[in-house]
Chain A
Amino acid sequence: MPVPATLERVVVETTAADLKSFYLKFKDGPRWDYLPGQFAELSLYGYGESPIGIASSPTEGEELTFTVFNTEGKVTRALHRLAPGAAVGLRGPLGNTWPLEELRGKNVTVIGGGFAFTTQRSLIKYVLANRKDFADLTVVYGARSPGALLYKPELAEWEKSPELTLHLTVDKGDETWTGREGFVPTVVEEEKLPPDDAIALICGPPIMIKFTLPVMDKLGWKPEQIYTSLEMRMKCGVGMCGRCNIGPKYVCVDGPVFSFAELSKLPQEY
């Protein structure tokens, strides 16, 4: 049963306005807790439900953040039309989390591309809030263009922060862009991201992952050190409706987070 929440504010993230962040608060009454990497079903009565990764960290307080791409489908289009004050149902927390136990005390390497960066943001905020529980935090984040980068004010802060190393890149800059140009796999290669005592979390378009993995392999990363978050069409989110499986694993309950060691045992059907 979706728990009633109120839309507090909406932030348009990209110049194309196809991605917006929705900041929600539970109404008085039932609520639930979550950890980085989990997702929720956003429910809009009359339109349906969509599984969306939680972009906020539980360390940030009461507001839950979801960054949603408008696919022009039923639910995401309706979400994009909402104004503050609107009611949204939240069913969750669903799925597993980023491997928080394994990450403790280790170097944390985040590699993100495009708008799959959302639950990685949750983890970055979580690490920053529990800074002494983790060693180095390194983030590579890329987007097609400067206008397509999410969380721009925050990225600006992180660039200056001594708490983490941020490598921002865009495929193609514009006249205002003074940063790096190039694809994520190239940045990973150039920066020689070290595998020592580290765990990497990689999310992005399939093509980015496809080209980044061999680079990491060359740098000495093992499949069990690299985690990703998968997406499959979902309905129930609780392992019943039967549509999100990859082999015997159901992404909604056994995932969405998997290591590449786990994925290597599953059929390539995603």
Chain B
Amino acid sequence: MAAVKVKRNELPKLLEGAKAAGYDVFAPARAAEGWAFAPYEGGDVDLDGYLLTTASVKGFVLPQLEAFLSYDNDDGRLAAAPEGKRLLVGVRPCDARALALVDKVYLDRGFRDPLYLARRDNTVLVVWACGRPAPTCFCTSVGGGPGDATGADVMAYEAGDDLLLEASSAKGEGFLKAVKFGEASDAELDEAKATYAKVAEAMTPLWDLEAARPKLYENFEAEAWEEVASRCVSCGACTFVCPSCHCFDVVDEGKHGRGRRVRFWDACTQSPFTLHASGHNPRERKAQRYRQRVLHKFYYFHDNWGENLCVGCGRCVVACPVNVDIREAVSLVAGAD
């Protein structure tokens, strides 16, 4: 299907069209802290100054806390799969890429998580290519880029006063068919993509990961891990804001035989994460835990799936209260002898 052309000031019409087609629409909006996806209430979408939401999109498919089972004494019942189509507009390529990576763990590992699957199926990501990356962005160093369509359902490229929308999944195509706009020509689309390729080229690569990756693992015992994690206070902020961190804990909540089994985001940088009932903890020290986070992103996941688990959004760099910087960590450890 050909790409669709929408005037920038017709965006409200597009989103109203999506609502009419049955989607719950979410768009970036200014929030108490930075930006957040909020239900679209009509009117213009002001994206002036918007780059990334403070929290990533992962909460839309993997809620911070959810009950997946409820019980009444000995009877358990799985939670019903969530229904209702959602459309997220203004998602950045790094976040969409992150969901495509989490998909591997939640859908391709063997066990297909029904709640996650339903949310993924119900959610259309309209991914907005990035024209002005932030200094903390390093997507091109980890396999992504400002115009990367991995994980996107629709790619949106700005071209002057126009917005060119290209479907990159069947879901995305369904949406573009449901809202009726004119076509963009191939030439227009190619030109727009070329401008984003330039944005990508202007981002300096941080490392050559093909060379750095094996060094990170070889240097498993390096003193440099102590150095990079020395300030870490094990707060977990980096894992919570991260779009690709997907680990969770499970707990039963309830009283008098009735309750629910919930799962909620967990953080490998916190010590109880691996604590055995015996008191033994294989990752007792924060340097061991931070090493797990970095190696999972750059080595373990790559070993299993051939991709980096970090998408270079820079959120952890911004969120860390003590300025631990994963980019420096990789440089330092890979550079240690």
> Which A positions have Cβ atoms within 8 angstroms of B?
1-2, 4, 43, 45-49, 71, 73, 76, 87, 89, 231-233, 235-236, 238-243, 245, 247-248, 253, 267, 269-270
Q: In the docked arrangement, what's the CA distance between A270 and B292, Å?
A: 12
A239–B259 CB distance below 8 A: no
B220–A241 touching, CB < 8 Å: no
The 7 closest A-B pairs by CB, nearest first: A242-B247, A87-B74, A71-B277, A248-B303, A238-B111, A45-B71, A248-B300
Min distance, Cβ A199 to any Cβ of chain B, angstroms: 26
Q: Which residue of B106, B110, B254, B277 has the most chain A CB atoms within 10 A of its CB atom?
A: B277
Are the CB atoms of A269 and B76 closer together than 8 Å? Answer: no
A270 cross-chain contacts in B, Cβ below 8 A: 282
Q: Is B195 on the interface with A (CB-CB < 8 A)?
A: no
Q: Which of B78, B247, B268 contacts A1 (CB 8 A)?
A: B78
Contacts of B268 in A (CB 8 A): 242-243
Given A2-B76, A89-B76, A248-B300: A239 touches B111 (CB 8 Å cut-off): yes
**Does B296 interact with chain A (Cβ within 8 Å)?**
yes
Within 231-269 of B, Cβ neighbours of A (below 8 Å) are at 246-252, 254, 257, 259, 261, 263, 266, 268
Asked if A45 contacts B249 (CB within 8 A), the reply is no
Q: Which residues of B are found within 8 Å of A46, using beta-carbon distances?
A: 71, 252, 254, 257, 259
Question: Given A238-B111, A239-B109, A253-B109, A49 and B250 touching (CB < 8 A)?
Answer: yes
B269-290 CB contacts (< 8 Å) to partner A? 273-278, 282-283, 288
In the assembly, what is the distance between CA of A245 and CA of B296, in Å?
9
Contact B282 A241 (CB under 8 A): no
- Give B contacts to A, CB under 8 Å: 69, 71, 73-74, 76, 78, 105-106, 109-111, 113, 217, 220, 246-252, 254, 257, 259, 261, 263, 266, 268, 273-278, 282-283, 288, 292, 295-296, 299-301, 303-304
Q: Which of B111, B278, B300 contacts A247 (CB 8 A)?
A: B300
Q: Could you tell me the dominant secondary structure of chain B's interface residues?
A: mixed
Nearest A residue to B275 via CB reads A233
- A45 and B74: CB pair below 8 A? yes
Closest Cβ–Cβ distance, residue B300 to chain A (whole Å) = 4
Q: Which of A4, A71, A240 contacts B109 (CB 8 A)?
A: A240
Q: Which of chain A's residues have a CB closer than 8 A to the CB of B254?
A: 45-46
Specify which chain A residues have a CB less than 8 angstroms from the CB of B71 in the assembled complex.
45-46
Specify the chain A residue showing the minimal Cβ separation from B305.
Answer: A248
Q: Are A238 and B109 in contact (CB under 8 A)?
A: yes
Instruction: Provide the residues of chain B in CB contact with A239, threshold 8 Å.
Output: 105, 109-111
A241 vs B102: C-alpha distance when bound (angstroms): 11
B263 to chain A, nearest CB (A): 8
How many Å from the CB of A90 to the closest CB on chain B? 12
| A248-B282 contact in complex given A76-B277, A241-B248, C-beta closer than 8 Å | no
CA distance A31 to B147 in the complex (A): 49
Q: Are A241 and B113 in contact (CB under 8 A)?
A: no
List chain B residues, Cβ under 8 A from A2.
Answer: 76
| A246 nearest in chain B by CB position | B282
Residue numbers in A under 8 Å from B110 (CB-CB): 238-239, 253
Instruction: Among A47, A231, A247, A253, find the residue whose CB has the most chain B CB atoms closer than 10 A.
Output: A247
Complex CA–CA separation, A51 to B330 (angstroms): 35
Q: Point out the residues of chain B lying under 8 angstroms from A73, CB to CB.
A: 277
Is the CB–CB distance between B250 and A236 below 8 Å? yes
A235 pairs with B76, CB closer than 8 A? no
- The distance in angstroms between the C-alpha atoms of A76 and B278, with both chains bound, is 12
Instruction: List residues of chain A with CB within 8 A of the CB of B295.
Output: 247
B273 smallest CB distance to A (angstroms): 6
CB-contact partner of B113 in A231, A240, A248, under 8 A: A240
Question: In the complex, what distance in Å separates the CA atom of A168 from the CA atom of B162?
Answer: 81
* Given A247-B300, A269-B288, residue A241 in contact with residue B259 (CB < 8 A): no
CB-contact partner of B73 in A45, A47, A71, A247, under 8 A? A45
Distance A240 CA – B245 CA, assembled complex (angstroms) = 11
A45 to B70, CA, bound (A): 9
Least CB distance, B239 to chain A, in whole angstroms:
10
B74 contacts A241, C-beta separation under 8 Å: no
Q: Which residues of A contact B273 (CB under 8 A)?
A: 233, 243
- Chain A to chain B contacts (Cβ below 8 Å), 19 pairs: A4-B74, A45-B261, A46-B259, A49-B250, A71-B277, A73-B277, A87-B74, A232-B282, A235-B249, A235-B263, A236-B248, A240-B248, A241-B263, A242-B296, A243-B247, A245-B292, A247-B300, A248-B299, A248-B301
